[in-house]
Structure 1
């Protein structure tokens, strides 16, 4: 079972996502190059929003996890700082390939996603080891525990009362890649495409100056001059969610048993995700461009067939004239009808939320909250 989310969102003059040269990201597609927003950028802003709207254990992606989360909590739990540092370093060496920097900060050599349950578990584990006696006894206890239980790490977390979200909500949704043989890898259940404009790339360079407020009358000219690339565009976005894998990541069940699980958390997560896709904007250049926009169109699809995006509706770039949004909606509707004519119905259920004209025979046109409820009822049952 898959949930697919298609969106059309128009932005005024903005610089939503920059490359290493400070220019707007772009991609060749079809007959013209397009403006682009990377999936990493989109996921980052959606994750931040979901931290406020979904009340489930969160993830922490950082090089500083042990130095700024685990170490202070160990000290607060009564472990002497010197011993806490020794134990934390030993734990890092055991669970993270590559270890730490040599500056004594316990900073990892690369950022890793950890779940809040893992932080609680690590603190509890090291606090228990610290009670074994002196430093050597504490280290021996940690080594023995890891040697005995490392194949059962997820089970240890669950037994300690930390649930199945060992890598946090972010890990359950977007996956976690680790090379450690102790930490558990999780595959991404939410697959996010790079968004791109349905029309050709058209940008301009905005030249700006800064005036020195303390200039004297005879001091002319700018105190600073700069420039940035700006572009306006209508972006197509696409997200596919593997529902069995998401339920498995949230509950710890086997993916084939997803339909037997309580769906309350998954419904909460997916409703929050759809709301974020529709309303949360990438946050670059906030003060200079106010890059805030809501989607004018969302198409939600659910079904057991292999997902397929509708990006090819825009292989031929739309002309930047007339009602471009309506043209984009029409192009998607026509392409969807053509795909269904070729393959048969490619989704079992559909619902659309839009302020534009949309063929009712393609999908019911509903307010967003009703469209979300209808599609989630189709996935999980009313």
Structure 2
């Protein structure tokens, strides 16, 4: 029987533009018949992956890049410094070819010259640090001789990193290397109606000002939004165990994910807006039945009278949705914890134990299983 770890958050952003569309405007979506601010799951997953680097060892993480040949070649050169780079490139290119992954020579323009770069894949390829290391070691051990397809496949389809195990990997031309994601992240969406606003700005020419000349050096506009967002993600622990091959690693990865989900922030326009807030409410539940999002608590947009603010009404709605769903479906989480700022926790007292973030992570670690049937056998 699997466990599902649901993570819910209410997260208020000041005027900001952390996730833009193709016109430079903050992303939006219509929900409940009204426009809302939206932050794509892709944007927040990227932020979470970057935050992993603060809490997990580098050898447990991966890199997603077209420049996979260069990544492996760099490790080959560390292992065998006497190898010429051209030799390493040729051997690594042959290893990817054996695995069924096409790479092509890349030429870039630098000034007036055409510069040859290491071959690249035609798409972003997600590889773990261990996969890169093991492929490089195999290339050196084989003295550059081409690996067999089975050897190459074994190196690239085992020892997945935490981020690959969580967010999955798709290789269209070689689907045997696909990894099903163990984590699902919803698009963050505003709990109330909102539309982008325009900031008209000017920049002053310092030298012109010193010469007592009037006028701006430049003018422009930038779009922004301010919203209280509902954020949701869920971890399928059994799927994560299968992807990582180790239950203890899956438990620690889940704890790291919850921490990074809470603390991360997409970086769009941060220098302009300094929108570095943390969620005011975090609710984490461990469930045995199935994942459950509470987004429908906000299908009717939150409207506030201004006395207490939207986030108080949003917290009350979140708690009501959680209790009503469990009452209607005769379900109850194995455990739930609430991290909340100030008296916001009062609204959520019936849906989880009020804790600090560090106590939440400790409680989650203690609640998740430490072994499985394979280990007991």
TM-score normalised by length of structure 1: 0.85
1:95–1:180 CA contact under 8 A, matched in 2: no
Aligned to 1:54: 56
SS where residue 214 of structure 1 aligns?
Answer: helix
Aligned equivalents of 1:192 and 1:62: distance in 2?
22
**Residues 1:212 and 2:212 are matched in the alignment:** no
- 1:377, CA displacement in angstroms? 2.5
What is the Cα deviation at residue 152 of structure 1? 4.1
| Separation of aligned partners in 2, 1:225 and 1:97 | 48
Give a deviation string over 1:301-346, Cα, whole Å, max 9, x none: 1121121200000000001433211100101111122212211125
1:240 is aligned to: 234
2-side partners of 1:61 and 1:324: how far apart?
38
The answer to whether structure 1 residue 93 and structure 2 residue 128 are counterparts is no
Whole-Å separation in 2 of the counterparts to 1:250 and 1:147 = 23
* 1:13 shift after superposition: 1.0
Partners of 1:208 and 1:225 within 8 A in 2: yes
TM-score between both structures, scaled by the size of structure 2: 0.86
Are the equivalent residues in 2 in contact too, given 1:57–1:165 (CA < 8 A)? no
Aligned to 2:321: 335
Residue of structure 1 in register with 2:7 after alignment? 5
Distance 2:216 2:186 in 1: 42
Which residue does 1:127 correspond to in 2? 140
- Structure 2 unmatched runs, 5+: 108-115, 372-377
Residue 282 of structure 2 corresponds to 298
Question: Does structure 1 conserve the Cα–Cα contact (< 8 Å) formed by 2:47 and 2:266?
Answer: yes
* Residue equivalent to 2:193: 200
Give the conservation status (yes or no) of the 8 Å contact 1:172–1:186: yes
Q: Aligned equivalents of 1:53 and 1:208: distance in 2?
A: 38
User: Are residue 190 (structure 1) and residue 174 (structure 2) matched?
Assistant: no
Report the counterpart of residue 224 of structure 2 in structure 1. 230
Match of 2:354, SS?
Answer: coil
Residue matched to 1:133 = none
After superposition, the C-alpha distances for 1:51-81 in whole angstroms (9 at most, x for unaligned) are 12112521011111212x2223333412222
Q: Which SS does the other structure have where 1:308 is aligned?
A: coil
- Residues 193-243 of structure 1: CA distance to partner in whole angstroms, max 9, x if unpaired? 000110011331001111111216364322211111111110100010000
Kindly indicate whether the alpha-carbon contact (under 8 Å) linking 2:16 and 2:226 is maintained by their aligned counterparts in 1.
Answer: yes
1:292 CA drift (Å) = 0.4
Q: 1:254-287 deviations in whole A, cap 9, x for unaligned? A: xxxxxxx4x2x33332222222222222211122
Structure with bigger strand share is 2
CA, structure 1 residues 16+195, in 2 after alignment: closer, same or farther (shift >3 Å)? same
Question: Which residue of 2 is the match for residue 73 of structure 1?
Answer: 75
Report if aligned partners of 1:79, 1:127 keep a CA contact under 8 Å in 2.
no
User: Which residue is equivalent to 2:111?
Assistant: none
Name the SS of the counterpart of 1:100 in structure 2.
strand
Pick the aligned partner of 2:367 from 375, 378, 381: 378
Asked if 1:345 corresponds to 2:331, the answer is yes
Pair 1:188–1:175, CA change in 2 (3 A): same
Residue-by-residue CA offset, 1:139-168 (whole Å, 9 max, x unaligned):
xx41xx3245356446xx8xxxxxx533x2
Q: How far apart, CA to CA, are the structure 2 residues paired with 1:337 and 1:85?
A: 59
Q: In structure 2, how many angstroms separate the alpha carbons of the residues matched to 1:288 and 1:248? A: 42
